[in-house]
Amino acid sequence: MSETPAKPAAKKAPAERPLPATYESAVEELEQLVARLESGQLPLEELLGAYRRGAALLAFCRERLQAVEDQVKVLDEGAIKPWTAS
């Protein structure tokens, strides 16, 4: 009986990696990803994965921003007050 050789462990696609722990980390990764996408140097196979990762990071950032906005609304008794620089 011949056994088939084990396949090497597949590298996780960029979109499948866990999201960063913080908003700031997500923004930093997103900025780096956008620079790579805009460079036009990504092979086609990586382009779609990078786009998906970017979409996931963007959704994460939007969710974090919405959560902070919701907290501010609670602190300001439900009304968003205009911000003024001091």
Residues 44-55 have a mean pLDDT of 92
Query: Looking at residue 19, what is its pLDDT?
Result: 94
3-state secondary structure of 2: coil
On average, the pLDDT of the chain sits at: 81
Has residue 75 got a pLDDT over 90? no
Has residue 10 got a pLDDT over 60? no
Query: Which sequence spans correspond to the domains of the chain?
Result: 23-79
CA distance 40 to 28: 19
Q: What token pair was written down for 31?
A: 């900025």
From the candidate CATH numbers 1.10.1060.10, 3.40.50.150, 1.10.8.350, 1.10.287.1040, the one assigned to the domain spanning 23-79:
1.10.287.1040
